[in-house]
Amino acid sequence: MNLNVLCTRLGVEIEPQLLELALTHRSYSYEHGNAPNNERLEFLGDSVLGFVVTAHIHDLLVELPEGELTKVKNAVVSARALAGVASDLGLGEFLRLGKGEDQTGGRTKLNLLADTFEAILGAVYVSKGLDEARGLVERFVFPLLQDTDALRENSDPKTTLQEKVQEQGKSAPTYETSFEGPDHDRDFHAKVLVDGEVIGEGIGKSRKGAETEAAINALAKMHGK
């Protein structure tokens, strides 16, 4: 695992030990004597991301009221949006995962990828300060704001899907959700159905997350994406 390659992609140098910590999932920690994992850095990065994005959209989207700004912000910092950023950076190949997590597709899970990006942002903040952390957000997160209508749709996809389906004269969507794994690390799988037909599926670490992902995927199919 060549972390210099990742630093080049990120456009910022991060202390190697700190970057390695940011890439360490709790499943790896559990299998290696409860070694430190990236959850504290993720917590920090989440706060930095929220501040930087909020300040930016406040200045950028001057015509939007507070409620609409909140929807845009929530969409930009959502797991789906951040997982897309993480995938573009190829973060999955650098993750330190436990064997079980790795074998069940952990390197492509939305929530795991999103959390890792936030952890890396936290590491940049600790290593280089707020200006460099803001630079990382500007390079990889701000471009998501080029389509604010799509972002706002994604901020409440279940409601948006219901409205669009009912506009077509169909029944309101229903969700079927199942889960697997132990209580402390469950993976949920959701299907969204309209008039008995599955129109979208999603996975997540919570029932709500899986259903939201299913709604997003259903909307994408409706838009022909």
The answer to whether 13 is a known catalytic residue is no
Residue positions forming the annotated binding site: 42, 115, 118
Q: Which amino acid is at 224?
A: G
Place of tokens 């990742």: 6
Collapsing DSSP to helix, strand or coil, 19 comes out as helix
The 10 Å CB-count burial string (b at 16+, else e) for 129-162 is: eeebbbbbbeebbbebbeebeebbbbbbbbebbb
Catalytic-labelled residue, pool 15, 20, 59, 118? 118
Residues annotated within the binding site for Mg(2+) are 42, 115, 118
Contact 155, 68 (CB under 8 A): no
Exactly one of 15, 31, 46, 68 is catalytic; name it.
46
Burial of 40 (0-12, 13-18, 19+ CB in 10 A): middle
User: Is 201 noted as a catalytic residue in this protein?
Assistant: no
What sign has the CA pseudo-torsion 13, 101, 78, 92? positive
CA 35 to chain centre: 24
Six token digits for residue 96 = 């330190």
Instruction: Give catalytic residues, as residue numbers.
Output: 46, 118
